[in-house]
Amino acid sequence: MNPHLTGDTRHIPHNETARAACTDADPALFFPSVQGSAYNELVENAKTLCADCAIRRECLARAIRHSETEGIWGGFTGRERRSLRDHAHRLHMVSPQLITDLRAGLRVPVPAKERPGVVSRLLGLGWSENQIAEALGVAPFAVQIARRLAEDAAAYRAAEQQAGRPLALTA
C-alpha cells in the first residue's frame, strides 16, 4: 500500500484503500519537494491519478478532517483545499434575488467565485447544465467546472462538520 495512504485511514474501509489509484504510485508524487516547472509537472501527474480514483472524495475528506496542509489529497493541493474551504462557505450564500432574476429569464453576470453556489442551486431546481450556461452567458464547460467544484465544496463542508469544526471563510 502506498505510504500516502498510511496513517489514519479508519474512515476508509480496507477494501476501498486497495482500490485507490495511488496504491502503487511513488509517494513523492503526492509530496513534491521540488519547485518550478518540475513541481507543476509532479502535481499534474498526481492530479491525473486522482481524477478517476474510486476513493477520491474519501481521500479529500481525510485530508480535511486531519487538517492536512501539505501534499495532494483527493486531487487538491494544500492551497486548493484552502480555496475549496472558501467555496464551501459561499455555497449557501447565494442571493435569493439572483436566483429569482435568473428564473425570470434575466441574464445576470455571476462572478466565477460565486458560480459554484449558483450552479448548485439551479441544478437543485431541475435546470440542465445547458440552461444554466445560457442564463449565465457562459460556456457549458464553465458550468461543468462549477458543478464539480460545488460537489467538492459540499464534500468539504460535510467533512468539516463531521470533524466538528466550524466552517470559516479565510481572509
Contact 133, 140 (CB under 8 A): yes
pLDDT digits (tens, 9 = 90+) for 52-75: 888 888 888 888 888 888 999 999
- Please state the domain extents for the chain: 3-76, 82-171
Residue 73 and residue 90: Cα distance in Å, rounded?
22
pTM of the model: 0.68
User: What's the pLDDT score for residue 14?
Assistant: 52
> Of 136, 137, 162, 151, which Cα lies nearest the Cα of 61?
162
